Amino acid sequence: MRVKRLLDLIGDTPLLRLDDLIEAEGTSLFAKWEGANPGGSVKDRAASALVADGEQRGLLAPGGEIVEPTSGNTGIGLALVGRAKGYRVNVVLPVGYSEERVRLLRALGAEVELTPSEEGMAGAVRRAEQFAVERGAWLPGQFTNRAVVAVHRETTAREIIACLPARPDAFVCGVGTAGTIVGCALGLREAYPGIAVYAVEPAASPVLSGGGPGSHGIQGIGAGFPPPLYEPGLVDGVVRVTDEEAFRACRELAARYGLLAGPSSGAALTACNKLLKGGFAGMTLVTILPDRGERYLSTGLFSPPA
């Protein structure tokens, strides 16, 4: 493959078949490996779409400045896109996310500001809004911008449909901003009207299933508040996953397939296993593996518990 720009490598990620990870007989599990994006995560799609949206609406001028609250991956995507297009990128994220994420952001030229961990993502959002006013920077607003939904409906879902050998019974996806699950659900249901959709959230912060916010270790999902883009009417159920369940699935994925994926991938795989051992036994599921695991090495993700 020959490309003129690094940004041309965003999307068209592989669909992996991971049946060996499933404990139920006669089932099929397909996973979209978003770590294959140049910035290492599904958020490259969102970042590219957000910047294109800002340009098209005249909100982002050449040489302009961007600020965004993020758990890290959207910031990395924005830093990558911003560097390629000549924008200055500022990222606000809560203390407590992996050091590798912060280092990646700075290596890509982003300015990083950390907010108190106890304020969670809501605190990072408030600070980014304040920063935008102070500096006259453009705030893409990944938590509310429908461009994030559109890019997954138009690209991620269509890529899944093109690669699947058979009709899936359910789509399983972690929820951060909810752009991925909503966009993919809309796109997949155009091709498969009856497909079930299941959201995945941290058991320690079950805000989508009626619980309260809490601290957890599944970076990338579970922002601690119901994201504005989330559409409960599209979702058939919510699966709760503990930190250790997610981490254990990541270690198993590495051991069986040699693939290092982040904790939100482990959460998605765990949720699939729970569903396939229940009412979806013998059926076909498809999920998203959002990011690479290398950016979590310092967290002990791949170290078995003592």
Rounded Cα gap, residues 121 and 127, in angstroms: 10
Helix 263-276 and helix 243-257, axial crossing angle in degrees, nearest 10 = 90
The dihedrals phi and psi of 113, each to the nearest 5 degrees, come to: -120, 130
The arithmetic mean of pLDDT across residues 230-250, rounded, is 98
The arithmetic mean of pLDDT across residues 140-145, rounded, is 94
Residue type, 12: D
Q: Which positions are annotated as active-site residues?
A: 43, 264
Domain 6-36+155-299 indexed as CATH 3.40.50.1100: yes
The arithmetic mean of pLDDT across residues 86-90, rounded, is 97
pTM (predicted TM-score)? 0.94
Spacing of C-alpha 166 from chain mean position? 25
Q: How confident is the model at residue 306 (pLDDT cuts 50, 70, 90)?
A: low
The answer to whether residue 20 scores a pLDDT higher than 80 is yes
Rounded Cα gap, residues 231 and 234, in angstroms: 6
The arithmetic mean of pLDDT across residues 287-306, rounded, is 92
The answer to whether residue 14 scores a pLDDT higher than 80 is yes
Question: pLDDT > 90: what percent of the chain?
Answer: 85
Average pLDDT, the chain: 95
- pLDDT tens-digit series, residues 97-109: 888 889 999 999 9
| Fold topology of 43-135 | Rossmann fold (3.40.50)
Domains of the chain, residue spans: 6-36+155-299, 43-135
